[in-house]
Amino acid sequence: MQAGKIFLLTGAGISAESGLSTFRDKGGLWEQYNIEEVASLRGYEANPSKVLEFYNLRRNSHGDVKPNAAHFALAELEAAWAPRGGEITLCTQNIDNLHERAGSRRVIHMHGELGKVRCHDCGDITAADGDLSLALGCAACGRIGGLRPHVVWFGEAPLEMDAIFEALAGADLFVSTATSGAVYRAAGFVAAARSAGIPTMEINLEPSDNAGLFDLARYGKASEAVPAWVAEMIKLAG
């Protein structure tokens, strides 16, 4: 088998196995917070201090979390694929940095990154350095109080969609893992791949909301199913 171009989509389930809370699962963040108040532009404009506090808590809770076997397997696939003439595009819906910490180099964060901040006025993006507060200023434009988490809130458009659809259109295989298939626009990627004649596969704990659109499926814990699949792919590519 010749190594080709693989488009990989990952979701909250892959980080949940590392101990990070998801929004949708039982006991997840939707049950603990009014998401409209802490993860929307309207909520930010109504009470920016509350929103910043929420994301400070989320960022601080990530400190002791480590990548799991699924993260490391995808990084291994990326490292093994290029020398074989292939290409991996890893697109994640997650705002953590576990893929990068596991060794993945080319990661598209379509929902932003918790470890970065963005100026609400000029759009300048920098690494987060400690907790956010309304007392901080933007190094680029000087505005005080306008630094917000570099994450996509409900009602906002996902990031890097042009690059995502360009990579997806050129893929030889689309693989979705550890995602519910309920959040658009990511949930629409499988339909876009099918319409382009690209083989599709999901690796999930259980069938996703759009499981019927996938050509192939494997079910089980991401930390077990993903490494097993990666090992097979590397072996097939020689």
Query: Which residues are designated catalytic?
Result: 111
| Per-residue three-class SS string for 84-104 | HCCEEEEEECCCCCHHHHHCC
DSSP 208: -
* Residues 2/172, Cβ–Cβ less than 8 Å: no
Of 91, 86, 101, 119, nearest to 18 by C-alpha is 101
Q: Are strands 125-127 and 112-119 parallel, antiparallel or unpaired?
A: antiparallel
